[in-house]
Amino acid sequence: MLDPSLLRSAPETVAAGLARRHFTLDVAALNALDQQRKALQIQLEQLRNARNEASRQIGQARRQGLDTGAMQAAAVSNGEEIKTLEQSLERTLAEWDTLTIGLPNIPQDSVPDGRDEADNVVLRHWGTPSTFAFPPRDHVELGEALGIIDFAAGARLAGTRFVVLRGPGARLERALTQFMLDLHTTEHGYTEIAPPFLANADSLYGTGQLPKFEEDLFALRDDPYYLIPTAEVPLTNLLRGEIVASLPQRFCAYTPCFRREAGAYGRDTRGMIRQHQFDKVELVQIVRPEDSAQAHETLTAHAEKVLQLLELPYRVTALCAGDLGFSAAKTYDLEVWLPGQNQYREISSCSNFESFQARRLQLRYRAEDGKPQLAHTLNGSGLAVGRTLVALLENHQQADGRIRIPAALRPYLGGMTVIQA
């Protein structure tokens, strides 16, 4: 969430920042609630002081043997007024919370202006988009011809946007997961975590999925849990409510992820690009504020390394202000080339949230002066396993339908160099 002191002291500055997202902050409503809060708090303080003084006077009168009936009646009236004002203050604070909890993060100055993905800025390319001496097939055709991808079974077992991987396909997904985890733990210095795949509402609130994106979550019917939409949720919440002794902290995890895709009706209905359940290796860093800009570049490079070792062409784009996620202050998307679609598609989003999540989580560290300060949080996919599998099939397909296995992945497949029917 945004800094309440900034919202109260400089709402116009906040409004200007949010306007870059094409989000309108109702400054008048915000100021009115804050003025109402101040007035109520002043009145309550005066009444409480009067109550304390009345109690002192009643006690003194009793010691002198005087009649205190009128004074006690006045005290009762005072107490009722205090209770009424406390209820009014509680309602005002609740209205403030309702208004401010829905405010997205303020974009960093370096984020390009724009309204949607058409305004995102391509920063760099790696590799050359694959070309073939034959018409390239997409992963659906390739996987079904090889007998490793079964959409009919997925639909029969669960429904649309589910898939079954068979034989070498299932092994390939497992190999990709292990390859990513080994790279990030042994070379990039992340601590591997095996978290729960369910999360409570407090955890999802802490990372910003609740309350705004509840419609995209799968909730258990009779229990207060949600299926996690990403390992970002449990990993970032590992230190919720703590004052961390040492920073930076780096965590990574493999988890399945579950999303309703409520806002994506009709999009990517073919294939594995947009599934209700998909596997992902997630990277999370928790750092000091002065280190978060460099940490963002480093985390992005860690995700890029996976694509480079798998010989998958990609590009890096900076999301414009209007395309940023709710909690992000800045985001880089990695977009892998898919010959079957003849375009780049997102395979990882690497974001700096600054203190936005940490304020919700009360995730802090001790500064040099010994005082607790809010940390900065970052995360990114390292990578989405299903989309990586799609990219590998399409980019490394051969004329006869076989799939070449890049050298870096072969040790995870028992030395296998190709996948064939």
Rounded to an integer, what distance in angstroms lies between the CA atom of residue 259 and that of residue 228? 8
Residue type, 167: G
Residue pair 234/284 in contact (Cβ under 8 Å)? The answer is no
Buried b / exposed e along 267-303 (16+ C-beta atoms within 10 A)? eeeebbbbbbbbbbbbbbbbbeeebbbebbebbbebb
Q: By three-state DSSP, how is residue 350 classified?
A: strand
Give me 14's structure tokens.
Answer: 């906040």
Q: Running DSSP on this structure, what letter comes out for residue 415?
A: T
Task: Tell me which residues are annotated as active site.
Answer: 259, 274, 346, 349, 387
Ramachandran region, residue 420 (left: φ > 0; alpha: ψ -120 to 50; beta: rest): beta
Strands (E), 93-143: 121-126
List of residues 6+ apart from 103 with CB closer than 8 A: 1, 2, 7, 14, 18, 23, 25
List of residues 6+ apart from 105 with CB closer than 8 A: 2, 324, 326, 327, 328, 329, 353, 354, 356
For the chain, what is the radius of gyration of the CA atoms?
28
Residue pair 133/34 in contact (Cβ under 8 Å)? The answer is no
Bond prior to 107 in cis (omega within 30° of 0): no
Rounded to an integer, what distance in angstroms lies between the CA atom of residue 297 and that of residue 278? 26
Q: For residue 332, what is the enclosing H or E element?
A: strand 330-338
Rounded to an integer, what distance in angstroms lies between the CA atom of residue 414 and that of residue 287? 38
Rounded to an integer, what distance in angstroms lies between the CA atom of residue 194 and that of residue 349? 21
Residue pair 186/309 in contact (Cβ under 8 Å)? The answer is no
